Structure 1
Amino acid sequence: MGIELQKKARGERPRYFADPAIDKTLAITLALAGEVAVLRDRLDSIERILESGAPLTRAAIDGFVPDAAMRAERDAWRDRYLDNVLRIVHQEREELEQRAAEAQPYEAAIELVEKG
């Protein structure tokens, strides 16, 4: 018998955006992205088992352990994949950071003028 994990997180879901629908959409997108990443790793395992000439069984797939080089390849793919999936979020963050950086000199100048 395996370990039973809780199916629901405790506490409130963190909010990142003013509109809760955006948070929900992001959560769904990330859940789907996670599933795609798992399927991609499984497909990679299948391809490597086939290339090795070993019999392809569920046990072989489930028991496949990638070596360090394979893990590095998978990690690199996952990084590129998540960068692609989250590109718009990264762009928004960069724009906000740029606006904040541009606003600081303006705000500092206003303070100097106010202080006289």
Structure 2
Amino acid sequence: MSNQKAFGVWLDNHQAVVVGSEQAEGDTLAVLAHVKGELVAPNSSENTSNNQEKTLQGKFFKEISSHLLNATHIHVTGTGQAQEKFIHYLADTPQFKNAKTEDSTSNKMSDERLVEFIEDKLK
């Protein structure tokens, strides 16, 4: 990982774990952040509910990406379609348009196991 800022993210629709180097030039990966998304409040209007969900998802993705400063390689994993939506969000964000992104599907795992999983994926 020389001269690269590589990160890994596990996420579902409401929570994320960000893994990366704690030091600017370190090769050792560690959990950098746990990010929790807000739940959509029940609403009788489907349109309002959908708009609120998109707004909250945007805030959630923005908070996750705030931990990925100067990223050159990002591996995104998780359950369902959340990781695909996050990769599209990154592709549409100028700061990350040149970053290499990869995705995979995985179940929730312990922080230690996630660090090992991301280290293996970023090799």
Same-fold call, TM cutoff 0.5: no
The answer to which structure has the higher strand fraction is 2
Q: Which has the higher helix share?
A: 1
Calculate the TM-score normalised by the size of structure 2: 0.29
Q: What TM-score results when the alignment is normalised by the length of structure 1?
A: 0.31
Structure possessing the higher relative contact order (Cα contacts under 8 Å, 6 or more residues apart): 2
